[in-house]
């Protein structure tokens, strides 16, 4: 493994510079889906999506992440079969077109489909959040390189077998980053996500959270998303709409472990958690 990649001090996303290490950035989730695992999908209601995103910005979100396909595992939840490219486009493009002129914070498109990413970037998105790490669509690298935008590459696999969990996930993320650079992606525009809940059991997810500091060896900004996820439900025995305290614990510990971005559904509350955690972890001048 080559771990000589220098962590970029700053990444420009849209019209904003993200100075890594200065604070923890909060990504608010806007699900343009009727079947979001987190029960907060706005469906085809563009006005509702706009209100939600504007509220997120007012509450302190740094990025809004728009997705049009539920990523919950079909084996665990009903109604989460993959949607067609046409359907996904019909969900996300009207939302992004409405959000782009209304927000001052950047918009991320959560998709693994190259054409959806391409159209979303043309509509006003400024970053691609690829939950398949360029493995879902061979044309995604070209779209990202031509647009010159930052991207998130997430570790994802269709099984839960590991030789050694954390080193395996780190190695997988490094391969994703190396392949992206080989395809022409700028080194300084790559953000990595260990993929909590994707190809991992609840015990795996908890171990990754416990050992998150080990991912610093990758030398890249790290995004962590455990908001409302099933692991919290398993531990606390709570439904998806009653996991705010569990989410808060994961956000605080993600920050203590070195996360640069936390992806959340409950923006107001998690911005406060992030600010308090940052005061402890990064320092506070009053």
pLDDT, tens digit, for every residue of 82-108?
789 999 999 999 999 999 999 999 999
CATH number of the structural domain spanning residue 138 = 3.20.20.20
What mean pLDDT is reported for the chain? 92
Say what the pLDDT of residue 82 is: 78
> Is 16 a domain residue?
no
> Is 13 a domain residue?
no
> Is 103 a domain residue?
yes
Cα distance between residue 31 and residue 39, in whole Å: 9
> Is 10 a domain residue?
no
Tally of domains in the chain:
1
> Is 9 a domain residue?
no
> Is 17 a domain residue?
no
CA distances from 22 to 19, 155, 156, 215, 274 (A): 6, 25, 28, 18, 12
> Is 144 a domain residue?
yes
User: Pick the catalytic residue: 48, 263, 275, 282?
Assistant: 263
pLDDT tens sequence across 154-183 = 999 999 999 999 999 999 999 999 999 999
**141, pLDDT greater than 90:** yes
Cα distance between residue 233 and residue 126, in whole Å: 33
User: Pick the catalytic residue: 72, 91, 113, 229?
Assistant: 229
Band the pLDDT of 45: cuts 50, 70, 90: confident
> Is 240 a domain residue?
yes
Q: Is 161 a catalytic residue?
A: no
Say what the pLDDT of residue 5 is: 59
Q: Is 228 a catalytic residue?
A: no
pLDDT tens sequence across 183-233 = 999 999 999 999 999 999 999 999 999 999 999 999 999 999 999 999 999
Q: Which residue range is the domain that position 46 belongs to?
A: 24-281
């Amino acid at each position: 493994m080559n771990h000589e990649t220098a962590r970029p001090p700053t990444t420009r996303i849209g019209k904003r510079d993200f100075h890594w290490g200065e604070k923890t950035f909060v990504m608010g989730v806007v699900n343009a889906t009727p079947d979001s695992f987190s029960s907060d999908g706005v469906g085809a209601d563009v006005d509702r999506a706009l209100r939600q995103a504007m509220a997120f910005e007012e509450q302190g979100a740094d990025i809004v992440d728009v997705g049009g396909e539920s990523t919950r595992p079909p084996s665990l939840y009903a109604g989460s079969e993959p949607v067609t490219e046409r359907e996904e486009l019909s969900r996300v493009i009207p939302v992004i077109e409405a959000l782009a002129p209304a927000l001052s914070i950047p918009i991320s498109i959560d998709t693994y489909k190259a054409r959806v990413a391409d159209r979303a970037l043309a509509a006003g998105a400024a970053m691609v959040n690829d939950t398949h790490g360029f493995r879902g669509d061979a044309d995604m690298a070209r779209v990202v390189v031509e647009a010159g935008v930052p991207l998130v590459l997430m570790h994802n696999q269709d099984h839960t077998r590991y030789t050694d969990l954390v080193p395996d996930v780190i190695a997988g993320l490094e391969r994703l980053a190396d392949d992206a650079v080989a395809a022409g992606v700028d080194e300084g525009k790559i953000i990595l996500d260990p993929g909590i809940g994707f190809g991992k059991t609840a015990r795996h997810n908890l171990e990754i959270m416990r050992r998150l500091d080990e991912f610093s060896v990758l030398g890249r900004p790290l995004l962590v998303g455990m908001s409302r996820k099933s692991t919290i439900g398993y531990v606390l025995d709570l439904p998806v709409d009653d996991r705010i305290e569990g989410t808060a614990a994961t956000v605080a510990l993600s920050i203590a472990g070195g996360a640069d971005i936390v992806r959340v559904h409950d923006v107001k509350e998690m911005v406060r958690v992030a600010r308090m955690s940052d005061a402890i972890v990064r320092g506070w001048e009053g």
